[in-house]
Chain A
Amino acid sequence: MTTQTATAPRSAPQAVPKKKERGGAWLTLLAWVVGILFVLPVVWLVLTSLHSEADAAQNPPAVVAPLTLDGYREFFSGGASPWPPLLNSLTASIVSTAIVLLLSFPAAYALSIKPVRKWTDVLFFFLSTKMLPVVAGLLPLYLFAQNTGLLDNIWLLIVFYTAMNLPIAVWMMRSFLSEVPVEMLEAASMDGAGLAKTLRSVIAPVVMPGIAATALICFIFSWNELLFARVLTATVAETAPVFLTSFVTSQGLFLAQLCAAAFVVSLPVLIAGFAAQDKLVQGLSLGSVK
């Protein structure tokens, strides 16, 4: 059996080399075509953002029209400044991500390294909160904010985004922490290492990439959120996605400017996503797919 499988890969391709090769070439071509089709709208977004408004509204599309930064210039200095919403988004995403990490790391530690009783129940409680439709909690939070004067306050969004991402982070962190070899922990405790030292020299090196991926994914989800930001903020704490939706009220040609705006708002997510690319699957599947 073993010998058979060992020799097989060498002999198999020889048997059907021609057919396989040609089929392979077609499959490669197909893969490229599909990839290009999927990325095309993004490329089109960027290209349109670099065209003049007149060229952007051409039919058939003016693909090779001269490039210009007018769309971006108009976006940044045309009407209402996009900087406050962008900074609000940045604040809400970064602060909520930091709080999520602070809360989820100890929790994940208690659920994996030194598991508490009924730790699976706790884990599934976290997951179940993610399944509750957020829209069901919207009204009470709105009324609460209205009565406490927290409406249009970025801190309210931060608290909500923390709750939105905490279950994901706990699941992800638990999965990353359970990759720490138990022997290493035992060896560390036998050497008399305290909790702080164990965390720093044994656990941290193994889970650092995982923590980074968790942070990036939480950042992305907070940055993307629209419904709560729209209901709970107005002019002061408005976030970038809300700003984008209110952007399309202008009359006349606005496509290039809109594409520039959409690209600028998406840029942080694109950067964070590609940075987390290797751990993206594990993160998005809550750690169940490696």
Chain B
Amino acid sequence: MTSVAEKTKGRAGASPAQSPGALSRATAWIRRAPLLPALIFMIVVTQLPFVATLVISFMDWNAYYPDEIGFAGVDNFRRVFTDVNMRDAVWTTILLTVGVVLISLVLGLGIALLLDRKFRGRGAVRTMMIAPFLVVPVAAALLWKHALYNPEYGLFNGALTWVWKLFGSDNPPQPDWISNMPLWSVIFALVWQWTPFMMLILLAGLQGRPLDVIEAARIDGASGWQIFTSMTLPHLRQYLELGALLGSIYIVQNFDAVFTITSGGLGTANLPYTIYQIFYQAHDYGRASAAAVVVVIGTIIIATFALRTVSSLFKQEEGR
């Protein structure tokens, strides 16, 4: 019933304002009125600054040289495109985002499948799984950096010492995790935080599976693997897409982990961190803005695809 209502609502959205006369125009505005505060707020706070960024990106403006502010043409953009650091940052951002999203999606899928069964303590395990997502990101990054990765007293090396001692060795390996694999250190910490998120979305997807169809397939002799690949995965596809999309939106913008764990050193500076540095430490406003504009254009290209995904999901929901 609701689905029908949803559908007609979706399609009839245009109808009231189409009826002629001043009265209907007034009703249309009354309908629009509750929307306006939020809409105007968003335009002012998110769109205007971007226009400013666009303007500044064409200016020669460094806070250290306040007398030399002027028009720079496309100089800033030229510097952005020829800057090795920027190119590295783009690459790092891609590696970081794809790495975290892929690994946490796969892990999240596995754990969601484990939690989809009924077993003793399922609620407890679910609660334990959510906990990492509910640690403040900066706190989580500090926890990984100092309490886990630290080569002298971190838990990882502590555990290695303990295991080696168990076998009678006094010479356990004590790697310096962050120096040895800086980007992976950041990725692992983020995977730990984001796997619960993926798991929750996929678990919700699994629980929306039509169970009777799966039962029928099982009776017809389909193996567990066949059911998984030909029924569960296709059903989960849109949930996997959604998880990947939302995860990417947040992880592309990650600042906290990079800033805290490595301070952008050792090749872990992603785009947000690099722009932050150009602006906050080098005070080169023109170049920072140009970099920001380039990032925004890149984001718009990717977001167009992303929005299409959400849009198709959305239409499916409306039509259901």
Inter-chain contact A139/B285, CB cutoff 8 Å: yes
- B contact residues, total (Cβ < 8 Å): 118
A171 to chain B, nearest CB (A): 10
Q: Is B222 an interface residue (CB 8 A)?
A: no
Inter-chain contact A130/B249, CB cutoff 8 Å: yes
Q: Determine chain B's interface SS by DSSP, over half rule.
A: helix
Q: Determine chain A's interface SS by DSSP, over half rule.
A: helix
B275 to chain A, nearest CB (A): 5
A170 to chain B, nearest CB (A): 6
Inter-chain contact B142/A9, CB cutoff 8 Å: no
A5 partner residues in chain B, CB cutoff 8 A: 212, 215-216, 219
CA distance A183 to B271 in the complex (A): 50
Q: Is A60 an interface residue (CB 8 A)?
A: yes
A288 partner residues in chain B, CB cutoff 8 A: 242, 310, 313-314, 317
Cβ proximity bits A268-290 to B, threshold 8 Å, 1 near / 0 not? 01100110010011101110111
B229 to chain A, nearest CB (A): 19
A108 to chain B, nearest CB (A): 9
Inter-chain contact A41/B144, CB cutoff 8 Å: yes
Q: Which of A71-79, A120-128, A207-215 contacts its partner?
A: A120-128
Inter-chain contact A30/B28, CB cutoff 8 Å: no
CA distance A107 to B34 in the complex (A): 5
Which of A58, A166, A280 is within 8 Å of B41, CB to CB? A166
Q: Is A57 an interface residue (CB 8 A)?
A: yes
Inter-chain contact A285/B201, CB cutoff 8 Å: yes
B252 partner residues in chain A, CB cutoff 8 A: 133
A145 to chain B, nearest CB (A): 11
Which of B143, B219, B260, B275 is within 8 Å of A41, CB to CB? B143
Q: Which of B274-320 contact A (CB under 8 A)?
A: 275-276, 279-280, 285, 288-289, 292-293, 295-296, 299, 303, 306-307, 310-311, 313-314, 317
Inter-chain contact A262/B157, CB cutoff 8 Å: no
Cβ proximity bits A154-174 to B, threshold 8 Å, 1 near / 0 not? 000001101100110010000
Inter-chain contact B41/A103, CB cutoff 8 Å: yes
Q: Tell which of B14, B45, B52, B161 has the most Cβ of chain A within 10 Å.
A: B45
Cβ proximity bits A125-146 to B, threshold 8 Å, 1 near / 0 not? 1111111111111111111100
Inter-chain contact B17/A42, CB cutoff 8 Å: no
Instruction: Decide: A106 near B137, CB < 8 A? Known: A136-B293, A139-B56, A288-B314.
Output: no
Instruction: Decide: A35 near B120, CB < 8 A? Known: A132-B46, A135-B295, A139-B53.
Output: no
Q: Is A44 an interface residue (CB 8 A)?
A: yes
Inter-chain contact B249/A59, CB cutoff 8 Å: no
CA distance A97 to B303 in the complex (A): 26
Q: Is B195 an interface residue (CB 8 A)?
A: yes
B225 to chain A, nearest CB (A): 13
Inter-chain contact A59/B114, CB cutoff 8 Å: no
A115 partner residues in chain B, CB cutoff 8 A: 9-10, 13, 31
Inter-chain contact B121/A32, CB cutoff 8 Å: yes
CA distance A136 to B127 in the complex (A): 36
Known: A8-B218, A12-B215, A226-B137. 15 other contacts (CB 8 A): A28-B120, A41-B132, A41-B140, A58-B158, A115-B13, A117-B14, A132-B46, A135-B292, A136-B50, A182-B2, A244-B138, A245-B138, A266-B136, A280-B200, A286-B246
Where the two chains meet, the residues of A that have a C-beta atom closer than 8 Å to any C-beta of B are 1, 4-5, 8-9, 12, 24, 27-28, 30-32, 34-36, 38-39, 41-42, 44-45, 48, 56-61, 103-104, 106-107, 109-112, 114-120, 122, 124-144, 159-160, 162-163, 166-167, 170, 178-179, 181-183, 220, 223-224, 226-227, 231, 240-241, 244-245, 248, 255, 258-259, 261-263, 265-266, 269-270, 273-274, 277, 280-282, 284-286, 288-290
